[in-house]
Structure 1
């Protein structure tokens, strides 16, 4: 039962912080969405799995860095789409995960997908299969620039 409070409290704080409006309707919608979220998590049988404290402390900095990467990548994709000289050179290849834990693999794969111009297709033992709009983006991933940021999150 402690996990319900541990999950609901941050969700309430996040809802109130982002909403900024405290009408009866919005507060009711917030309560309904939080109850629904807690119910879905309990059905997933993953409620007892928690984010390590070290990761929770390191995650905000990673999110800021990732936001910057998303912005830079979006500008590159925009330039490529609008430039008649820069034809896309899409490529699909596997980028290694170097034995990182499953949670870090999920964060890494989702970070790749969030970055414009790249898409995680599959995660398996070999690594993450990635489709990239530009060949250079895939080269950057294979060089390990993003993976070096993901590895310290779990502190292993």
Structure 2
């Protein structure tokens, strides 16, 4: 019960600060009252759904998330350049690949973050999510690099679950 109270207070604080920053109405009592009402409704709904826990209120892990998002942003930028080079090449030598990617992430949040990170990275799309792994469509064989997928999963697990991912042997999941 104490942890639910902690996460409830943390969520209320973050939602209130976010509302104040985004709305810009700091001194209008009626509008601030609407903000308080909106935060209260969100908290009551979240509590009734049983979602006040560390996975659904992950604000304590924000530094790890920012580190991961920064890394992912750089990867997206590099993949964009690679896709543009392929698309602008005179011969347009694209050979799409479907590959299975093994997944060891335990939490639903880590698995969803990993699958979405693959899809956000240009040149790859997560097609299917299964218990043991993902089916990924890659624009070329270079985009289907299993080592790169393992590195992305390791970083996702460290950011979301807060644990070190176990290294997988080379070639565990292949196309």
**Normalization by structure 2: what TM-score?**
0.66
Distance verdict in 2 for CA 1:147–1:22, change over 3 Å: same
The SS at the match of 2:145 is: helix
**How many equivalent pairs are there?**
150
Extract unaligned runs of 5+ from structure 1. Answer: none
Summarize deviations over 1:35-90 as a string: whole Å, max 9, x none. 59927963992522323677433111111101101111111111211222232221
* Residue aligning to 1:72: 78
Structure 2 distance, partners of 1:42, 1:88, is: 46
1:129 maps to 2:135:
yes
RMSD: 3.4
**Normalization by structure 1: what TM-score?**
0.72
* Residue aligning to 1:58: 64
Q: CA deviation at 1:109?
A: 0.7
Pick from 11, 14, 19 the counterpart of residue 10 of structure 1: 14
- Mark the structure with the bigger radius of gyration: 2
Extract unaligned runs of 5+ from structure 2. Answer: 164-175
* Residue aligning to 1:22: 24
The runs of 4+ residues in structure 1 deviating greater than 3 Å are: 1-5, 11-17, 34-37, 51-57, 140-143
- Greater mean alpha carbon deviation, residues 66-75 or residues 98-107: 98-107
- Greater mean alpha carbon deviation, residues 116-125 or residues 3-12: 3-12
